[in-house]
Amino acid sequence: MGTSAVELAVETSDDATIEVVEGPGGGRAARFPAYTGTTPSPEALIVAKAKEAGALDPLDQDFRFGASFMLDSESSGSKADDGDNLVQRGSFASPGQFKIQIDRGVPSCRILGDEGEVFVKAGTAISPEVWYAVSCQRAGSEVSISVTQYGEQGQTWTAAGPTGHITLGDLPLAVGGKVSSEGLTVGSGDQFNGSVDDVFLQIG
């Protein structure tokens, strides 16, 4: 296990912006656009592309990923913005995917490989306007999601099943919504409406 360099870019549509705000520990966090209820919905995403081919591919290894987040009190409901995608690589139709979303206030994780998918969902909703840390982990055939409100004790939920090999080629890692294979906004990307900090991906 080591580190790998990535290229970061901000992709936007409809004049959306990402602001720098205070993070949960007093550092800096990214503030994504507020929910508008309009179609198209303004989108702003952070996109990470590996400088070394395959560096973001879990393959058959155990891995974990996640972020800290604070969700707005209003964050979904329109056709263009009906969820809050926090961190993801790959789409629902890709040959593989790993993703954390906070849909209707409930964190969930999906991991898909060449042997199948496992979906695990938190048993309780989070509170808006409060900082949490969330992570998803694959360890063998188990996939778990852990959610911790800052200053409180966290909880973990687990599901099991085969997922297998995950290779996604040049697909980027997206923070704050969905991206195309070229790393561009897609127009109905379930924009994360709130603030995000401490994004990570750990393989092996």
Q: Per-residue pLDDT tens for 68-107? A: 999 999 999 888 788 899 999 998 888 999 999 999 999 9
Q: What's 10's DSSP letter? A: E
| Domains of the chain from N-terminus onward | 6-203 (2.60.120.200)
- Asked whether the beta carbons of 112 and 166 are under 8 A apart, the reply is yes
Which candidate, 199, 196, 204, 203, places its Cα nearest to that of 70? 196
Residue 26: partners with Cβ closer than 8 Å, 6 or more residues away: none
The answer to whether 82 touches 76, Cβ cutoff 8 Å, is yes
Average per-residue pLDDT in the chain?
92
pLDDT of 133 reads: 98
Nearest residue to 195 via CA among 147, 148, 131, 145: 131
pTM across the whole model: 0.94
Inter-residue contact 41 to 32 (CB < 8 Å): no
More confident position, 181 or 58: 58
- Which pLDDT band, with edges at 50, 70 and 90, does 191 fall under? very high
